[in-house]
A = this chain, B = another copy of it.
Amino acid sequence: MVIRYPNGQTRTDQQLNKHKILEESKKSNFANRGMRFEEAINVSNEYYLNRNIAVVHKKPTPVQIVAVDYPRRSAAVIREAYFKEASTTDYNGVYKGLYLDFEAKETKNKTSFPLKNFHQHQITHMKNCIKQDGICFVLLWFSSLQRCFFFPSHLLISIWETNQRQSIPLTTIAQEGIELTMGIAPRIPYIQAIDLYIQTKENHYGK
């Protein structure tokens, strides 16, 4: 295919593709690439795993299996199963001996992050992990703004428990959290935020 431009210039598909790749690499953002937030986190986890930086995995969706078929010469097929409520957050793992635990959520809102995105079991789990000195946080994605934040769970919990707010204002998140600059690899460089968070914590508590 040849595209004819008003000025008479032409471009081949190949040139167009090159151009497109260049443009995409400029916009270093998973959202522009049609990648969902969760997928972007998963590929970031793969990046960290492959480079021996951290071992973080998404937990499988909990399912109650009721009936399974075992057809001959082929794989077992689950024929009846139900979604169960998770008892933890979605992601956990290890980084330099530290236990990491987090949840990733997105909103289309532009000024605040609705608390309805979180569930009591997640809050309870985060509280338990904090008691054990785990590094607990949430990754918050404002899809309309294309901004992503690391926000410590202990702050989320205290807002959740005051019970007066339906949402966390973006201003609070920007001030108390750590904004992540989206990259190519890793897409969501949350380990950088953890480093900064630990540093701040150590300075704060004089650990």
Mark contacts of A84-112 with chain B using CB atoms, 8 A cut-off: 1 yes-contact digit, 0 otherwise: 10111000111111111100000000000
Q: Is the CB of A78 within 8 A of B80?
A: yes
Number of chain A residues whose Cβ lies closer than 8 Å to a Cβ of chain B: 41
Separation of A61 and B76 alpha carbons in the complex (Å): 14
Contacts of A62 in B (CB 8 A): 60
A196 in the interface (beta carbon within 8 A):
no
Q: Is the CB of B82 within 8 A of A134?
A: no
A39 to chain B, nearest CB (A): 16
Contacts of A129 in B (CB 8 A): 55, 94
Specify which of B78, B86, B98 is in contact with A83 (CB 8 Å cutoff): B78
Q: Is the CB of A78 within 8 A of B77?
A: no
A73 in the interface (beta carbon within 8 A):
no
Interfacial residues of chain A within 60-81, with CB under 8 A of chain B in the complex: 60-63, 65, 75-81
Residue of B nearest to A97 (CB): B133
Contacts of A88 in B (CB 8 A): 57
Specify which of B78, B86, B128 is in contact with A52 (CB 8 Å cutoff): B128
Residue of B nearest to A88 (CB): B57
Q: Is the CB of B133 within 8 A of A94?
A: yes
Contacts A63-B81, A77-B81 known; list 20 others, CB within 8 Å. A55-B128, A55-B131, A55-B132, A55-B134, A59-B59, A60-B63, A63-B63, A63-B65, A63-B78, A75-B83, A76-B82, A76-B83, A78-B80, A78-B82, A78-B83, A94-B101, A94-B134, A96-B133, A97-B99, A99-B99
A–B Cβ pairs within 8 angstroms, 15 of them: A52-B128, A52-B132, A55-B125, A55-B128, A55-B134, A75-B83, A78-B78, A78-B81, A78-B83, A79-B79, A95-B132, A97-B98, A97-B132, A97-B134, A99-B100
